[in-house]
Amino acid sequence: MGEPSVDGVRGGRPPAPGASPQTPDDFSEWCRDACLALPGTTVDWPWGPESHVFRIHHKMFALLRHNPRVSDHAIVNLKAEPDEVPLLIAAHDVIGPGFHMNKRHWITVKLCPAADLCLVAELIEDSYDNVVAGLPARLRPALHSLQPTPPTKTDR
């Protein structure tokens, strides 16, 4: 697959869902900021500029894109614990099986006004944590030392 194009490394906490996004672009921007706020996160676009892939040490934990076949809204695919996947899908109308992903390990969340942003932020962190837990032990401590970096023009 090759080396990903990295546009930035972040660290910190996801944005607070206080002011609710209003437009589809606002939801995408909110999700993008939430992903990039996690330590060591990078983003690349292996499937074109409309698909943002968020990674930690080259391992994907989120895929943000707009696919009209799936939803009128932007969607984000997130890794989840296999035991929790069916429960999340049953409990939330905005959560479904991972679109074009392994349905046992991935969920798709519609980023729309009906989405509970606190829950989405938690699911993003859980996805990140699931991927970090699978990293070699020698890489995990380095993540705690990463600090946030300011966004640059190339981040968009």
Q: Within a domain: residue 31?
A: yes
Tally of structural domains, the chain? 1
pLDDT value of position 141: 62
pLDDT value of position 2: 36
Helix/strand/coil (H/E/C) assignment for every residue in 98-152: CCCCCCCCEEEEEECCCCCHHHHHHHHHHHHHHHHHCCCCCCHHHHHCCCCCCCC
In this prediction the pTM is: 0.77
pLDDT value of position 149: 45
Range(s) of the domain holding residue 56: 24-134
pLDDT value of position 104: 81
Q: Within a domain: residue 64?
A: yes
Q: Within a domain: residue 8?
A: no
Q: Within a domain: residue 16?
A: no
> CA–CA distance from 100 to each of 17, 29, 103, 136 (Å)?
28, 22, 8, 27
Q: Within a domain: residue 150?
A: no
pLDDT value of position 100: 81
For residues 46 and 43, what is the distance between their CA atoms, to the nearest angstrom?
A: 10
- The secondary element (H helix, E strand) that includes residue 62 is strand 59-66
- Residue 87 corresponds to which tokens in the numbers above? 């429960």
Q: Within a domain: residue 10?
A: no
Q: Within a domain: residue 63?
A: yes
CATH number of domain containing 113: 3.90.1150.30
Q: Please give the chain's pLDDT, 156 residues, in tens.
A: 333 334 444 444 445 445 566 666 788 899 999 999 999 999 999 888 888 999 999 999 999 998 787 778 899 999 999 999 999 999 999 999 888 887 889 999 999 999 999 999 999 999 999 999 988 887 766 665 554 444 444 544
Q: Within a domain: residue 57?
A: yes
